Amino acid sequence: MRRLNRKKTLNLMKELDAFPKVPESYVETSASGGTVSLIAFTTIAFLTVMEFMVYRDTWMKYEYEVDKDFTSKLRINIDITVAMRCQYVGADVLDLAETMVASADGLIYEPVPFELTPQQKELQRMLQLIQSRLQEEHSLQDVIFKSAFKSASTALPPREENSLQSPDACRIHGHLYVNKVAGNFHITVGKAIPHPRGHAHLAALVSHESYNFSHRIDHLSFGELIPGIINPLDGTEKIASDHNQMFQYFITVVPTKLHTYKISAETHQFSVTERERVINHAAGSHGVSGIFMKYDISSLMVTVTEEHMPFWQFLVRLCGIIGGIFSTTGILHGFGRFVAEIIFCRFRLGSYRSTSVPLPDGHTSNHLPLITDNSTH
């Protein structure tokens, strides 16, 4: 009884077979079919490898929402070298809430030579080359996001201790915590002092001939410091053509949450517009000599997430490739054989052209002679 049920089940499964087998005696092979099969298998192998490379790759997804965090502090990471002695310059931040953040809260003034060492120059040239490529190809930013914490640090290598150059410049580096509102970070002549109506700088004791705001921005970023991330002003170098010169940077800061397979951090992207001019009160160009970075915080927040193709989607695409190529090559091969048979059939009909056969009464017959068994002998 059990064997009978098994046989019925087996017969039922045979009836449900959607892939019936053709006996080998009914299968006809040809050289053209083998050639098309070889081309199809090669194409399938090539596209399968390419699809697997796409499956292994990742991409960045950007989502936008309103930034609702107004109470937290904003961190500014600074590493700027000014071609003036440290006792002549001062740096601080003044925001729209009239809150002054002095440089003593987190910045270090370090006397250094303004001229870079050969190793430092090489890194600066590399940063400038990357910046020029980023301005032309914005998609490279995704590569930088994915390589964060994996690539080499963008900080300048340390200077050799046996350097014979005298320190003629001041490196201002460190970080400051400011309110999350628009503000102005500036470096100008004299140390900053509090003032009831804002703030002031003690610049009266510094002669105008010693003014030189040629500077190099080795690093400027907002938010959490992430090694490997290259910011728009990294590697910037400006040479002043006049003693009384103002350099202005107008910065728009966008809060950014970065989620990749390597890191998860809260940082800030920013765009910048540059302007420089010579201060000449007689010509109507008013202002204060120095370096001014006016930043504004965007109300939108960007969430950047690294995504990967699901495995089921990879299988569906792979099945589509295999089935599509087999179907397409089969159709093309069948159409090619159909055209070839039509052409060869016409050639065969043309080979049996009509011949004239003389008759006893002097007439001719254009019909083809019958082929009999006696004529074959």
Cα–Cα distance, 192 to 200 (Å, whole number): 6
pLDDT in tens, 241-272: 888 889 999 999 999 988 888 778 888 889 89
Q: Which amino acid is at 182?
A: A
pLDDT at 353 > cutoff 70: no
Q: What is the mean pLDDT of residues 180-195?
A: 83
Q: In whole numbers, what is the pLDDT of the chain averaged over residues?
A: 80
Query: In 10 A of CB 58, how many CB atoms?
Result: 15
Q: What is the mean pLDDT of residues 280-304?
A: 87
Phi, psi at residue 324, to the nearest 5°?
Answer: -65, -40
pLDDT at 291 > cutoff 90: yes
pLDDT bin (cut points 50, 70, 90) of residue 275 is very high
pLDDT at 351 > cutoff 60: no
pLDDT at position 377 is 44
Contact 145, 258 (CB under 8 A): yes
pLDDT in tens, 105-155: 788 999 988 888 888 888 888 888 888 887 777 667 777 777 765 555 566
Closest to 140 in 3D by CA, of 149, 130, 150: 130
Cα–Cα distance, 325 to 43 (Å, whole number): 8
Strands 245-259 and 300-308: parallel
Here the tokens at position 266 are 């809260």
Return all residues near 132 (Cβ < 8 A) that are at least 6 apart: none
Q: Say which DSSP state 22 is in.
A: P
pLDDT at position 376 is 46
pTM equals: 0.69
User: What angle is formed at CA 75 by the lines to CA 72 and CA 79, rounded to 5 degrees?
Assistant: 175
List residues bridging with 175 in a β-sheet: 77
Q: Measured in whole angstroms, how far is the alpha carbon of residue 133 from the centre of its chain?
A: 11
Ranges of H-type helices in the chain: 2-15, 31-56, 118-136, 140-146, 311-351
Q: Say which DSSP state 82 is in.
A: E
Q: Which amino acid is at 64?
A: Y
Q: What is the mean pLDDT of residues 323-337?
A: 83
Cα–Cα distance, 229 to 223 (Å, whole number): 12
Q: Is 290 left (phi over 0), alpha (psi -120 to 50) or beta?
A: left
